[in-house]
């Protein structure tokens, strides 16, 4: 499956963020698509199980051909909210629940299939055989095209991947959260031909004022003129340079930042500049 180089994350579109109207959501979809960002990332829990339906209503009226975009959704997290009778946040990866959840997402998104289904977070009680059975049924019925996981370790992927093919792992990865580069996760993805997607690809650089983020801003400031780029573009270019082929999932609804994000895919950092940025984050030189 050909997902766009940058992926549109929808978590903040609804009740958990901007609370966009149907008209605003449709306009935002068109803006993303006009910038060659055609993959939209969802999860059933976004907006406390409401955002998918709001997106689906907007999509229905947006005049966008289904085959021109890719829809991702995630399942498994049982969230405590008014829309679910859950006593505690937990995970459910039973065969019946996975199938039911996908069918609910299809209905909410006004689509007949998902381009990609992800298991949202690993559960200590998940049964790989049962997951594989659900995925096999969903693929056979044409309800999903690709299957993947999110936030899974290499060993967890190995356990699931022995039973059913994994196409994607969506992980936290950024300049300020790059443990996947050192714990074997990205190595496993590269070795096994699994596409990495990165949520929160800008990390904490613009969210926190710390010694680390001040070092990062200083270093990025020294490179802005060289690359004729903004700081957020340089952060995305840093992520994109990793040889595993990471696809960043951006959550912005700001039109200028959307355009800046796709233009970041054209930036090729010099080797030493990539390491200068890494060292600014770590606060020490590489071993």
**Catalytic residues, which ones?**
46
Q: Tell me the two tokens of residue 129.
A: 């055989």
Handedness of CA 111, 117, 118, 120 (dihedral sign): positive
Write down the residue that tokens 């605003």 correspond to: 24
Rounded Cα distance, 250 and 11, in Å: 10
Contact 117, 138 (CB under 8 A): yes
Strand, helix or coil for residue 251 = coil
Rounded Cα distance, 96 and 130, in Å: 9
Alpha helices, DSSP H only, in 82-153? 95-109, 128-140
Q: Tell me the two tokens of residue 202.
A: 């800008």
- Containing 277, the helix (H) or strand (E) segment is helix 271-282
């Amino acid at each position: 499956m050909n997902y766009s180089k940058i992926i549109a994350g929808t978590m903040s579109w609804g009740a958990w963020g901007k609370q966009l109207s149907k008209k605003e959501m449709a306009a935002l979809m068109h803006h993303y698509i006009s910038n060659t960002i055609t993959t939209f990332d969802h999860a059933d829990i976004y907006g406390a199980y409401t955002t998918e339906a709001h997106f689906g209503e907007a999509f229905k009226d947006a005049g966008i051909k289904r085959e021109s975009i890719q829809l991702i959704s995630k399942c498994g997290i049982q969230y405590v909210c008014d829309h679910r009778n859950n006593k505690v946040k937990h995970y459910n990866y039973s065969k019946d629940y996975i199938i039911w959840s996908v069918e609910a997402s299809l209905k909410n998104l006004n689509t007949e299939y998902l381009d990609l289904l992800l298991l949202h977070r690993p559960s200590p009680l998940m049964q790989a055989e049962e997951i594989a059975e659900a995925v096999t049924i969903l693929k056979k019925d044409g309800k999903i095209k690709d299957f993947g996981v999110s936030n899974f370790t290499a060993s967890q992927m190995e356990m699931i991947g022995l039973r059913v093919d994994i196409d994607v792992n969506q992980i936290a990865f950024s300049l300020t959260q790059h443990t996947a580069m050192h714990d074997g996760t990205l190595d496993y993805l590269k070795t096994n031909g699994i596409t990495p997607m990165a949520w929160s690809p800008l990390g904490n650089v613009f969210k926190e004022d710390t010694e680390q983020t001040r070092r990062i801003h200083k270093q990025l400031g020294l490179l802005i003129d060289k690359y004729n780029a903004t700081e957020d573009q340089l952060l995305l270019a840093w992520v994109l340079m990793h040889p595993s082929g990471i696809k960043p999932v951006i959550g912005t609804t700001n039109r200028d930042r959307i355009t800046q994000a796709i233009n970041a895919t054209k930036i090729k950092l010099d080797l030493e500049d990539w390491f200068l940025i890494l060292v600014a984050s770590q606060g020490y030189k590489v071993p």
